[in-house]
Structure 1
């Protein structure tokens, strides 16, 4: 019998059929299109792909947690005494 090994391990690990895999990919594609419409972008950093959004409140509203370094995540509060 001829075959090939499916090596994707995150999205379809729990799928029991090709139909289930197709449905999972379709759901994911729909989500990615909605994210693109909301202003999310895919950026490459070396061999990594990062999903970004210029507005942190939109990013958080979608339930994502920023992987920026803690220093970059800090919002500076102006010193009103000066």
Structure 2
């Protein structure tokens, strides 16, 4: 691009320098956005949900959880004192 007639050589040089800095920053931003998008896709793929049916566990009496035991303090409160 040629220097516009209304700009001096110094203004044109400064404009070109600023434009080069701007272009460099925009390239850095584009690279960072691409990296973030890649990371998001990789994370999604890693944690993608699998909707295939899961076999139900068979009833195992040994795996039953016992009923919760009341603490002595809760027994005292329940007597109405």
Q: TM-score of the superposition, structure 2-length normalised? A: 0.30
Q: Give the number of the structure whose residues are more often helix, by fraction.
A: 2
Q: Give the number of the structure whose residues are more often strand, by fraction.
A: 1
Instruction: Please say which structure displays the higher CA radius of gyration.
Output: 2
Structure with the larger RCO, 1 or 2 (CA within 8 Å, 6+ apart): 1
Q: TM-score of the superposition, structure 1-length normalised? A: 0.30
